[in-house]
Amino acid sequence: MLLLIKKRLFQLVLVVWGVGTLTFIMMRSLPGDMAYRIAASRYGQDNVDTAAADLVREELNLDQGWFSSYVSWLMELMQFNLGNSLVSGLPVSEAVAHQLGHSLLLAVFGILLSSLIAVPLGIWSAKKGGAINSALVWLSTCTKALPVFVLGLVLILIFAMEWQLLPVAGFGTWQHLVLPALTLGISLAAVSNRVVHASTLNVLHSPFYQFSRVKGLSEVQTFLRHGVRNMAVPVIAFIGIQLVSVIEGIVMIESLFSWPGVGHGLSHAIFARDIPVIQGCALAMGMLFVVLNSVIDVACYWIDPRGREAQ
């Protein structure tokens, strides 16, 4: 366990440095006048002229060389200082901490809904097979082929516009969480139910499972005692792989539903060319990926005793 934690901490450091450096390089490589974009975000597009852009450039020292700017950013990062927003002037750490809580809430509920959808469907299709399994394969393929924002728009049209059961977008009540989390959950379940299906088939056809039936255990007893735990390990491990889709989906879903998370803040910061906020949001998403993967690893470690014996 300690070795696992040390590996994840080292990976976290590499992710923070790598994501921050790549974000810095890409934002510096974008075309256009950075000072003009920042001034437009501060004062409005109609109130910006060359004089306002020059004032912003002088105030923020945007003429500084890229290497000096990178070294300054790296030194501040080593002191756990993400700097201030170029647009609002507020500390980036406070804004990112606020947004990260909302993104975590959406990610957790999205994964939970995905599990509630994928696990029963995967087990059911593995036991029934035939036409039911073929129908689920077709449905899963069609769902996964849809971009996540298209899936979100379909849910908005049905539940918010047609039936008027849920709000279209925003934040404040539990109803606002339902559509974003359901969009993420359905998108993830489209693939994970097939992993549950394959894992269930492997367990049902395994010698130890067949032997437990020979001993006299009922089908329900056999599945609960010897099936659930063995099929859970590859499913939970796949969730760790699927976290890339979670992070990617959060950016699109938060922008679509105006959910005040890291992805929503990142999209606004990119348009405003607010580099400290962009770097802070990117770092938060990279750290979120590592932390969630660490939770998955710990869960697999405790579920599968063979992993503990190998340590």
Q: Which residue has the tokens 């405790």?
A: 302
Distance CA 238, CA 154 (A): 27
What is residue 47's DSSP assignment?
Answer: G
Distance CA 194, CA 187 (A): 13
Q: Cite the DSSP H helix spans in the chain.
A: 2-29, 34-43, 50-60, 66-78, 92-128, 130-145, 148-155, 174-204, 207-214, 219-222, 228-257, 262-272, 275-303, 305-310
First to last CA, the chain: 8
Q: Is 214 exposed, middle or buried (0-12, 13-18, 19+ CB in 10 A)?
A: exposed
Angle (deg, nearest 10), helices 262-272 and 34-43: 120
| Sequence-ordered list of residues with C-beta below 8 angstroms from that of 171, at least 6 positions apart, any chain | 102, 258, 259, 260
What is residue 84's DSSP assignment?
Answer: B
Per-residue confidence in pLDDT tens, the chain, 311 aa = 677 677 778 878 888 888 888 887 887 777 767 777 778 777 776 667 778 778 877 777 777 777 787 888 788 878 878 888 878 778 888 888 888 888 889 988 998 999 899 999 999 998 888 888 899 999 999 998 888 889 999 999 999 999 999 998 888 889 999 999 999 999 999 988 999 998 888 888 888 887 777 777 777 788 877 788 788 888 888 877 777 677 777 888 988 998 988 888 888 888 777 878 888 888 887 887 788 778 877 777 777 666 555 44
